[in-house]
Amino acid sequence: MAKIVCKDLKKSYDGKTEVLAGINLEIQEGEFFILVGPSGCGKSTLLRIIAGLEGVSAGELIMDGKLANEMLPKDRNLTMVFQSYALYPHLSVRDNILFGLDVKKVAKDEQERRLAEAAELLGLTDYLDRKPRALSGGQRQRVALARSVCSQAPLCLMDEPLSNLDAKLRASMRVEIRRLQQRLGLTVVYVTHDQVEAMTMGDRIAVLSNGRIQQLGTPLELYNHPANEFVATFIGTPQMNMAIAEVQPEGLVLNDDVVVPLSAEDRAKLPAGTRWKVGFRPEQVYPATATSVHQVDVSVVSSEMMGNETLIFFNVGSELFTARWQGQHRVETGAALRVSLDPRYAHFFDVNTGALVRAAEDLDEQGARSTSVVDESLAARMEAAPAAPMA
C-alpha cells in the first residue's frame, strides 16, 4: 500500500494564483522520495501539506489509506526535520531530542532507551546536557535527526535539512541520512533545491516547477530521459547546453551560428521535423579526433581547471556552451578549439513546448565509450601540449 497518495492536490493562498496546480503522486513505504525544484516551485508547500501544517485547497491527500486533508499534524504519525532544525534554545539536547514524547504517552524508561539508542546512532552521547547554542551546525543537525529517530514515526519529512551546513559536512551528512533511512526502514520525503542531493540520495525524485510536477522518476531516468527542457537543464551540473537547432543542407545549424556536419546516416536518425531545441550534456561535448565526423571549430571564452577535470567555455551563437573533459587541458582564452557535437548524444526538445522529442542514446553504453574517448583525447593532448600533466 502506498504510504502517501496525492490526488490532484491544489493549493492557493489568495484563491487566484496556484502555488500547487494539481499534484498527483504516490510515495511508497520505505522509499526515499525527493521533492526538488527552484525556490518558489511549491516543493516546501507540498511538504507542509503532507505534514498538516498547511491546508489543502482542492484535491485529496491520502495517508496510510485514509483521507488526511483535515487530519491534524499530531495524528499523522510523522516527524519533521526543519531547515533551521527547530531546536528549542532553552532546552538541553536531551530534552530537545525527547521533545513531545511525553505528550504521546511514551513511558519514561522507554524514552530513556530510545534516547540512548538515538544518541549512540548519531554520536551525541557526550552532548546530551548541552544547550543547542553550545553545539556546532553539524551537531545541531544531528540533534534534529535524533528527535526524528526517537519518535519512531515511520514517516520522516525533511525540509532542506542540509542547506545550513558547509559543503564538506553536507556531503558526509548526505551519506549519513541515507544510511539512517535504510537502517530504520523509514519513509522519507525530502525537499531540496540542490539537485546533487536529489541525485545522490533519492530512490525517486519529483521535479517541481510552477506548482506542477515536471517529471517523476529515478535519478538516472531523470538524467537520461528528461521529460522536458526544464528537467534537462535543472538536473546535472554543469547545466546541459541548449541551442536551437535547424536542419540545413550543410548540416545541423545551432543558434544560427555553429554548423554540425551531418552524415546521411545521421540525417536518417534525426527525429521528425526540421527545427528543435537540442541539448548536449557538457561531458558529451568531446574533443574532436582526426576521424570525428561532427567536428566543429569554436573559440574558447574561458576555462576552469578543476584538477581532475577541465571545464571549457565557448560560444554557440549567443549561448555559452560548456565542455567537461576529464584530466587537465591547458586551453588559452581565445584559442581555436575543435570539438565534436554528435547528434546521437543530443536530447531533442519541441521548440515551442519544451517537451522531450527524443532522448540521447543510452548513456550506459556511452559511459563505456566516453572513457575510451577520454583516453584518446588524453593521448592527443599529450602530443599537442608542451607542458606535462601534473599527475
**Exposed e or buried b for every residue in 14-51, given b needs 16+ CB within 10 A?**
eeeebbbbbbebbbeeebbbbbbbeeebbbbbbbbbbb
Q: How far is the CB of 355 from other proteins (least distance, A)?
A: 26
Between 89 and 249, name the residue whose CB sits nearer to other proteins: 89
Contact region for other proteins (CB under 8 A) — 71-79, 165-173, 213-221, 328-336? Answer: 71-79
Between 141 and 151, name the residue whose CB sits nearer to other proteins: 151
Please tell me whether residue 133 binds other proteins under the rule CB under 8 A: no
What is residue 294's DSSP assignment?
Answer: S
Question: Which residue in this structure is represented by grid cell 531533442?
Answer: 348
Contact region for other proteins (CB under 8 A) — 28-36, 84-92, 194-202, 359-367? Answer: 84-92
Q: Give the three-state DSSP class for 279.
A: strand
Between 74 and 267, name the residue whose CB sits nearer to other proteins: 74
Alpha helix (H) ranges present in the chain?
Answer: 43-51, 93-97, 108-122, 137-151, 167-184, 195-201, 219-224, 229-234, 264-269, 363-384
Please tell me whether residue 83 binds other proteins under the rule CB under 8 A: yes
Closest CA to 335 of 360, 312, 319: 312
Q: In the set 39, 89, 109, 272, which binds other proteins (CB under 8 A)?
A: 89
Q: How far is the CB of 162 from other proteins (least distance, A)?
A: 16
Please tell me whether residue 73 binds other proteins under the rule CB under 8 A: yes
Task: List phi, psi (to 5°) of 240.
Answer: -60, 140
Would you state the cell numbers that stand for residue 259, as one nine-digit string?
554548423
Distance CA(320)–CA(318), nearest Å, equals 7
Q: In the set 2, 12, 130, 233, which binds other proteins (CB under 8 A)?
A: 12
Q: How far is the CB of 160 from other proteins (least distance, A)?
A: 11
Q: How far is the CB of 48 from other proteins (least distance, A)?
A: 8
Q: How far is the CB of 25 from other proteins (least distance, A)?
A: 19
Please tell me whether residue 151 binds other proteins under the rule CB under 8 A: yes
Contact 36/205 with Cβ under 8 angstroms?
A: yes
Please tell me whether residue 92 binds other proteins under the rule CB under 8 A: no
Q: What angle (nearest 5°) sits at the alpha carbon of residue 372, between those of residues 334 and 240?
A: 50
Contact region for other proteins (CB under 8 A) — 69-77, 219-227, 285-293, 302-310? Answer: 69-77
Contact region for other proteins (CB under 8 A) — 66-74, 161-169, 185-193, 360-368? Answer: 66-74
Distance CA(261)–CA(252), nearest Å, equals 6
**Exposed e or buried b for every residue in 210-239, given b needs 16+ CB within 10 A?**
ebbbbbbbebeebbbbbbbbbbbebbbeee
Between 56 and 298, name the residue whose CB sits nearer to other proteins: 56
Between 16 and 168, name the residue whose CB sits nearer to other proteins: 16
Q: How far is the CB of 110 from other proteins (least distance, A)?
A: 16
Please tell me whether residue 10 binds other proteins under the rule CB under 8 A: yes
Provide the β-strand partners of residue 61.
Answer: 6
Please tell me whether residue 99 binds other proteins under the rule CB under 8 A: yes
Please tell me whether residue 64 binds other proteins under the rule CB under 8 A: no
Distance CA(188)–CA(158), nearest Å, equals 7
Contacts of residue 353, defined as CB under 8 A and 6 or more positions apart, other chains included, come to 228
For the segment 220-249, give every residue that binds other proteins (CB under 8 A).
none
Contact 32/156 with Cβ under 8 angstroms?
A: no
Q: In the set 4, 5, 41, 56, which binds other proteins (CB under 8 A)?
A: 56
Number of residues that bind other proteins (CB under 8 A): 40
Residues that bind other proteins (CB under 8 A): 10-16, 18, 48, 51-58, 69-75, 78-80, 82-84, 86, 88-90, 99-101, 103-104, 151
